Structure 1
Amino acid sequence: MRHQRITPSSPLRPGNLLPARALVIAWCLMALIALLAWLLTIGQARDMGVEPGTMGMSLPIFLPLWLVMMIAMMLPSVAPVAITWVRGISRQSTGAARAGRIAQFTGGYLVAWTAFGLLVYAALTATGRLVDDHTGAARWIGAGAFLLAGLYQFGPLKHICLRHCRSPMGQLLRYASFRPWARDLRVGAHHGLFCVGCCWGLMLVLIPLGVMNIAAMAALAAVIFAEKLWRWGPRLSTAVGLAFVVLAALAPFQPWLLPGLEHSGAPMEPMG
C-alpha cells in the first residue's frame, strides 16, 4: 500500500477538520462512555472479588465483561486517534455521520481486543486448573507472567507497536487509500492490532494480580495512557519493564503479590 500525499483532494486535507463544537462533543462522549464502563466494571468486581482462573465464568459471560473492561481501560488512549481519523475524513458530513464513523472506528478497535480476550480466557482457564491441582504452581505462574511481561517491554515488537500508537499519523495517511466499504471499521481493527501488540504484555500481569482487580486495572490503564500520550512514554515503558522483572524475582517468596492466583481463605505458604 503506497504512501498517500496530502493534496487538496485528499481525504485528510486540513479543510476537513471537525468544527470546534463537534470536537468537544466527541471528546465528552468518549469520556462519558469510558466513565460508564468503569462504573460497570467496578460494580461487577465488587460482586465477584479476585479469584484464580475464570472465576466460574463461561466464555459467553466472560467476553462481554472483558469488552466492558477494555472500553474502560483503553478508550481514553484510543480516543485521540479515533477523533483524529474522523477529523480527516469527515469533509462536509453531518454530526450524525461523524459520530457513526467514530463508532465504527472504535468498534473495529474493540473487535481486536475482544479477539485477544479469547486468548486471555484460555490462559485463565489453564492457570486456574494448574493452581487447583498444584498449589505451589501459583508462585511460578506469577513469576513467569511478570517476567514475560517485563522482558516484552524491552523487545522490538513492543517498540514498533508503541511507536505506531504514539505517532499514528503516517499510518492514518495510508489508511486513507482504503476502499470506502467499512473503511472506518477496518481502520479501527488494524489500529487495534497494533494496540494489542503494544499492550498485551501489560494485560498479562492481570493473571497474577487478578483479572477483576480494580486497582491493578486502574494502574495499567494509567500506564497505557502515559505510554502512548506522555512525552516520556518510552522511558516509562522501560521503567515498567524493570519493575515487572523485580516483581518476577520477588513473586516466589512474596505470595501477597499474587492475589489473582490465591483462593479466598486459602493463602499460599511462602517458600522457606
Structure 2
Amino acid sequence: MSRGAPARTEVRGDPLALLSRRVLVVVAAWLVGCSVAAWLVVTREAAAPGMVDGLAAVGTRMSMPVAAPVFLATWVAMTVAMMFPAVIPLVAAHRIVARRRGDGLLPTVGLVAGYLLAWSLVGVVPLVALLGFRSLSGDAAESSWLPRLAGLALAVAGLYQFGRWKTACLRTCRSPMAFLARHDFGGGTRSAVRAGIVQGAYCIGCCWALMSVLLVVGLMNLVWMVALTLVFLAEKCWRHGWALPRVVGTALVVAGVAIAVHPPLLPALAGLSAGG
C-alpha cells in the first residue's frame, strides 16, 4: 500500500442489531399473517345478515340469534385481527430478550397466549350488551332515549381519551422493553404468560373505550373496525401517537353530542340505510 493511499476499513453490521432486525421481521410476518387470517374469518362472519349489530341497528337488522360460543369465538378472531399488528414491538422485544437468554420459542408463545386470554375474557361484556340490544322491541328505534344513549356512549368514549388511565395505559403499551423488565425478567413460560395477561389488561385499559364505539355502530362493522385498528396501531407504534387520543376523543365527543341533538345521524354514522 502506498503511503498516500487511504486505508481500507471493512464495515460490519452490529450482530445484535442484525439479530434484532431479523427477529422483528419474523415476528411481524407471523403476527400480521395471523391478523390477515383473522380478518378473513371476521369478514365472512360479518357478511351474515344481522350477525352482530349495535345500538344503531336496533329495530332493523337484529333478527339472527347468536350462540355465546359462536360470538366468543368471533370475538377472539376480532381481537387477533385488530390487536396483533399493534403488539409487534412487544412480541419482538420479548423474542429478542428470550433469544439472548437462550430461551426457546415457548415463552414468547406464552406471552401472546396470555395477552389473547385477557382480551378473550373481556368478550363477555359485549356479549351481554348484544343480548340486551336484541331484547329491545322495534319501537325502541323510534324512541328519543336510544340516540341519546348512543350519543352518551360516544361522548364517554371520547372523554376517556383525555383521562389519566388512558395516558398511563398508553405509556405502558408504548414502552415494551420497560414493561418486560418489570414483568418478565427471566421467569420462563409461566412468567411470560402472566406478563401477557398483564399487558393485555393495560391494552384493554387503553382501548376499551374506543372498542365500545362498536357497540353503537355495530360490533362487526368492518369500516369502523379497520379505522379503529389503524388508530390502535398509530397510538402504540407511531412516534407522534401521543397526540392521537385527543384528536380522536374530540371527534367522538362532537359526534356524540351531534347524535343526541339530531338522531338521524346515528344510522348514517353506522353506515346503515334507512331501510336497515
Q: TM-score, normalised by structure 1?
A: 0.82
Q: Deviations over 1:204-245 (max 9, x none)?
A: 100111011000000000001111111221211100000000
Aligned to 2:120: 114
Q: Deviations over 1:83-133 (max 9, x none)?
A: 101211223647xx32x3332211110111111111121122223334646
Q: Distance in 1 between matches of 2:131 and 2:121?
A: 16
What is the CA RMSD across the aligned residues, in angstroms? 2.8
Q: TM-score, normalised by structure 2?
A: 0.81
Q: Distance in 2 between matches of 1:26 and 1:170?
A: 19
Secondary structure in 2 matching 1:83: helix
Aligned to 2:66: 57
Percent identity, aligned pairs only, is 35
Q: Deviations over 1:58-79 (max 9, x none)?
A: 2111100000011000000012
Aligned to 1:173: 181
User: Aligned match of 1:206 in 200, 210, 214?
Assistant: 214
Map 1:1-272 → 2, pairs under 5 A = 18=19, 20-49=21-50, 51-52=53-54, 55-91=64-100, 93=102, 97-98=104-105, 100-130=106-136, 132=138, 134-135=140-141, 136=143, 137-177=145-185, 179-180=187-188, 182-252=190-260, 253-258=262-267
Contact 2:28 2:85 in 1 (8 A): no
Runs of 5+ unmatched residues, structure 1: 1-13, 268-272
Runs of 5+ unmatched residues, structure 2: 1-14, 56-61
Contact 2:71 2:127 in 1 (8 A): yes
| Number of matched pairs | 251
Q: Distance in 1 between matches of 2:90 and 2:153?
A: 30
Compared with structure 1, are the counterparts of its residues 92 and 230 closer, same or farther at alpha carbon in structure 2 (3 Å cutoff)? closer
Q: Rg: which structure is higher?
A: 2
Q: Distance in 2 between matches of 1:79 and 1:131?
A: 43
Compared with structure 1, are the counterparts of its residues 19 and 232 closer, same or farther at alpha carbon in structure 2 (3 Å cutoff)? closer
Q: Distance in 2 between matches of 1:67 and 1:120?
A: 12
Q: Distance in 1 between matches of 2:268 and 2:137?
A: 12
Q: Distance in 1 between matches of 2:112 and 2:184?
A: 17
Q: Deviations over 1:3-45 (max 9, x none)?
A: xxxxxxxxxxx96995654443222111111111111111111
Q: Deviations over 1:153-206 (max 9, x none)?
A: 111111110111112322210123474351221111110000000000000100
